[in-house]
Amino acid sequence: MTTIAARIARVHTGSSVATLLHAIDDDGLEHRIEVPPALARAVVPGQVLVLQWSVHTVPTLSSQEPPAPAPRAVDPIDHEFDLRNEPPAAAGSARDIIDEFNALLGPTRERG
Residue 41 located in a structural domain: yes
Please give the pLDDT value at position 61.
64
Do 28 and 10 contact (CB within 8 A), yes or no?
no
Arithmetic mean of pLDDT, 3-16: 90
| pLDDT, position 71 | 74
Q: Is 106 inside a domain boundary? A: no
What pLDDT, on the 0 to 100 scale, is given for residue 3?
A: 94
Is 33 domain-assigned? yes
30 against 98, higher pLDDT? 30
Residue range 3-21: mean pLDDT, rounded: 90
CATH number for the domain harbouring residue 27: 2.40.50.140
What SS3 class is residue 61?
coil
SS3 51: strand
pTM over 0.85: no
State residue 69's pLDDT score: 75
